[in-house]
Amino acid sequence: MTLLDSRTAPPAAPESPKPASRGAVVLRDLGLGVRFAAAGGREGWIRTLLTAVGVGLGVALLLLASSVPHLLDERNAREQARSETRISDSPDANAPKSDSSVLRINTTTEYHDRTVAGYLMRPDGSTPVLPPGVTGFPGADEMVVSPALRQLLAEPGNELLRERLPYEITGTIGDAGLRSPGELLYYAGNDTLTPAKGGHRIDGYGDSREGDPLPPLLIVLTVLVCVVLLVPVAIFIATAVRFGGDRRDRRLAALRLVGADIRTTRRIAAGEALFGALLGLLIGLAFFLTGREFVGSVEIWDVSAFPADLVPDPRLALLIVVAVPLTAVLVTLVAMRSVVIEPLGVVRRGRERGRRLWWRLLMPLAGLAVFGFTGRISAYEYAPEKPFGIAAGTVLVLVGLALLLPWLVEACVNRLRGGPVPWQLATRRLQLSSGAASRAVSGVTVAVAGAIALQMMFAAMNADFNRMTGQDPTRAQFAGYSEDVTGEAATSAIERFRATKGVDVVIGSVEAYASRPGDYADEDVQPTTSLTVGTCATLRELARIDACEDGDTFVVHPPGDKDMTAWVDETARKGKVVEISSGGKPMRWTLPADSPTVQGRKDPMGETHYGIMATTGAVDAGKLPGATISVQIRVDRSVPDVAEYVRNTAATVDPGMRFVTLDSVERDRQYASIQTGLQVGATAVLLLIAASMLVSQLEQLRERRRLLSVLVAFGTRRSTLGWSVLWQTAVPVVLGLAVAVAGGLGLGAALAWLIEKQVADWWLFWPMVGAGGALIALVTLLSLPPLWRLMRPEGLRTE
């Protein structure tokens, strides 16, 4: 072809490209959205990052929650693996010994309100069984310890604990033998332990029995705790994907100007949201994996976990991976329904008529209807489906409260007029755009409402899971009991307790069994009662004794129990001989004829004593065979560490002594652990909400950077803008808390009705309201440094 040819035959106009298929168009638009999110310059990146970090925080918490089943399974498995396999159910000298069997006794103690679990162990042979996590059997006066206990013992200020555990540390218990990294546990070797001293024989570890199933009410409680903690997280994620929505809408308006239709803009917005959510998933995973590494070294309310235990349930993890991006897209599309994106700008719909109330009420009402449909559940009823009905109803009510909030905030702030400049700036800002504030606060509302309802449930169930022990902590705060010691050792032990620093009163008695002498056929039961020896002061704590002098003896009847009274009298015959023995040669002793008969009374442990009581002048306690010691101790609480001094004395008297702290109420362990779980979860959720509010606040401040600079140019005081930020946070939070209190009390009352309980306390919401107030203060305080930075005059520069 020549140049001339090309002149005479100009190339044909390019053909118009064929229209792409619908699927390709959708993908192209989504891809465009992803590009805007990923390559939108610094501003675009910041917006995407804010969304991704917000979603990431939520995802990390969801992954944490989805790891709880595995965490509990692993803990239970390790706990079962280390539970002992007893040869005999009771301390029994005749239990068969073997080369691998071990005698052991539980010596668990408490130190500064923390449980220090421990065992003394004595091997029967050369290859004793080892507990999980232990590689070598500790020799006599040696111990292997958990890392946490090793650290605690090494820390200064814990001399009293070192005194109580005076064994040489020869090894560390591995993770396989521990419930959690923070557990305080030791196994100590001993060469004097015998069955008579309370040791029992074991020949292995591991218990394959199923644990007790949760009672129905606790299932309800567990499901509710999950709902109450996870709904705010879901709301938080939904809020995070709307960060920077205004800026995005303006960008989409620009796209409309160059010909994009409304559907295209929606798909582009969906693409942006999708990218933010996917990035959030990755960031969440990174947060989770990073946080998991630190979880072993953090302990909140005695709860810690091994990083390896925190593995999300695969099905729940898949649900998170699918649901989070889907939620992001849906929330974006729903949010865009309220705006009209025109080529020349963005118009928000519905400002004139305001938010409607009626449809917002549907969800809480539907929740109540689900409650009605589910029906009431009793403590003893087996109804596995009902807790989930209750959970569904609770979700509906809580989400309904979150929906009510924007209406309430709008309705209230529109009525606010006047006031000082900071107040005016804040209320006018809320009037102009209350949606963002409501969204940020809705998490608080749901969390607080749920927590109030749960607290009411806990209070209503209190009686079912908190047993009155009958103990009287005003008479004595500690009690100890040790078996099979000589009477001499027992009396000396009581004296040692009396001499302990901070001890006011020791109700210490030496006890033995007294039997009626005679020959009895095998089928006959030899009349036997207890012989209690103590000072007059001690005996007065155990029986209603008016006059007492050293050398006196008493026959003590159990009050209101005729049969037992008759049985006591079979042995305690005044002027007659009784035999005191523990399998060996009996000691014979005559009950003085002038012994008065008195009524027994409850000791501080809540136990009623009866039988024969003798002062130390009447019976030489030091000579009693097969005696036991019982001490109940009243201390001077003002003496620092008095409890540790008393426990140390108990450990030196007998490391195997059963030693308890008296408490009038005993909490069910499962119930207590659910309550602890709520505390841990609520803390995490409140921190998440604070983060959400802070991010939302920062985003608003960034949007207003130039305006803030102008206000500074006017000479506006920093305090004026600081107060305005405070009011802007406080007004929606206060309204949110009002909704939360009303909704929480209503939900709590409904739930109490469902489980056939009465509302025990209507004023339980105050701590939650306090937490909400603290949240306002925290968010405002954390907002101030960026506010100060944004108030710099650099914001006025345009070139």
Partner 1 sequence: MIPEGSLLAAHDLRKTYGSTPALDGASFSVHPGEVVAVMGPSGSGKSTLLHCLAGIITPDSGTITYAGRELSAMSDAERSALRRSDFGFVFQFGQLVPELTCVENVALPLRLNGVKRKAAERTAREWMERLEVDDLGSQRPGEVSGGQGQRVAVARALAASPKVIFADEPTGALDSLNGERVMELLTEAARSANVAVVLVTHEARVAAYSDRDVTVRDGRARDLEHAV
Give the residues lining the site for partner 1 (CB under 8 A).
418, 421, 424-425, 428-429, 431-433, 706-707, 710-717, 720, 793-794, 796-799
Question: Which of 83/720 has CB closer to partner 1?
Answer: 720
Contact 579, 590 (CB under 8 A): no
In whole angstroms, the minimum distance from the beta carbon of 420 to partner 1 comes to 8
Question: Which of 227/721 has CB closer to partner 1?
Answer: 721
* Distance in angstroms (rounded) separating the CA atoms of residues 244 and 439: 13
Question: Which of 208/798 has CB closer to partner 1?
Answer: 798
Question: Which of 434/628 has CB closer to partner 1?
Answer: 434
Please, what sign has the CA dihedral across residues 297, 301, 306, 307? negative
Question: Which of 342/794 has CB closer to partner 1?
Answer: 794
Burial of 793 (0-12, 13-18, 19+ CB in 10 A): exposed
* Distance in angstroms (rounded) separating the CA atoms of residues 511 and 529: 10
Nearest-Å Rg of the Cα atoms of the chain is 36
Question: Which of 98/424 has CB closer to partner 1?
Answer: 424
Where is 557: in which H helix or E strand?
strand 553-557
In whole angstroms, the minimum distance from the beta carbon of 412 to partner 1 comes to 16
Token code pair at residue 516: 């009626």
* Distance in angstroms (rounded) separating the CA atoms of residues 165 and 146: 13
Residue 156 three-state SS: coil
In whole angstroms, the minimum distance from the beta carbon of 299 to partner 1 comes to 45
Non-local (6+) Cβ contacts of 11 within 8 A are none
* Distance in angstroms (rounded) separating the CA atoms of residues 794 and 798: 9
| Length of the chain in terms of residues written | 799
In whole angstroms, the minimum distance from the beta carbon of 429 to partner 1 comes to 4
In whole angstroms, the minimum distance from the beta carbon of 787 to partner 1 comes to 15
| Residue 747: CB atoms within 10 Å | 30
* Distance in angstroms (rounded) separating the CA atoms of residues 248 and 228: 32
Question: Which of 422/487 has CB closer to partner 1?
Answer: 422
* Distance in angstroms (rounded) separating the CA atoms of residues 504 and 604: 15
In whole angstroms, the minimum distance from the beta carbon of 421 to partner 1 comes to 5
Contact 506, 497 (CB under 8 A): yes
Question: Which of 570/703 has CB closer to partner 1?
Answer: 703
In whole angstroms, the minimum distance from the beta carbon of 283 to partner 1 comes to 32
Token code pair at residue 72: 């509990």
In whole angstroms, the minimum distance from the beta carbon of 721 to partner 1 comes to 11
* Dihedral angle, C-alpha 541, 543, 544, 547, nearest 10 °: -80
Contact 284, 56 (CB under 8 A): yes
In whole angstroms, the minimum distance from the beta carbon of 295 to partner 1 comes to 44
Question: Which of 346/680 has CB closer to partner 1?
Answer: 346
Question: Which of 249/511 has CB closer to partner 1?
Answer: 249
* Distance in angstroms (rounded) separating the CA atoms of residues 600 and 612: 10
- The owner of tokens 């803390």 is 683
In whole angstroms, the minimum distance from the beta carbon of 245 to partner 1 comes to 16
Burial of 175 (0-12, 13-18, 19+ CB in 10 A): middle
In whole angstroms, the minimum distance from the beta carbon of 751 to partner 1 comes to 41
Biggest alpha carbon–alpha carbon distance for the chain: 148
* Distance in angstroms (rounded) separating the CA atoms of residues 621 and 489: 9
Contact 231, 450 (CB under 8 A): yes
Question: Which of 433/486 has CB closer to partner 1?
Answer: 433
In 3D space, the residue among 496, 483, 507, 502 whose CA is nearest the CA of residue 633 turns out to be 507
In whole angstroms, the minimum distance from the beta carbon of 450 to partner 1 comes to 33
Question: Which of 637/718 has CB closer to partner 1?
Answer: 718
* Distance in angstroms (rounded) separating the CA atoms of residues 747 and 91: 51
In whole angstroms, the minimum distance from the beta carbon of 415 to partner 1 comes to 16
In whole angstroms, the minimum distance from the beta carbon of 717 to partner 1 comes to 7
Question: Which of 425/556 has CB closer to partner 1?
Answer: 425
* Distance in angstroms (rounded) separating the CA atoms of residues 540 and 534: 10
Question: Which of 431/581 has CB closer to partner 1?
Answer: 431
Please, what sign has the CA dihedral across residues 615, 618, 623, 624? negative
* Distance in angstroms (rounded) separating the CA atoms of residues 434 and 650: 64
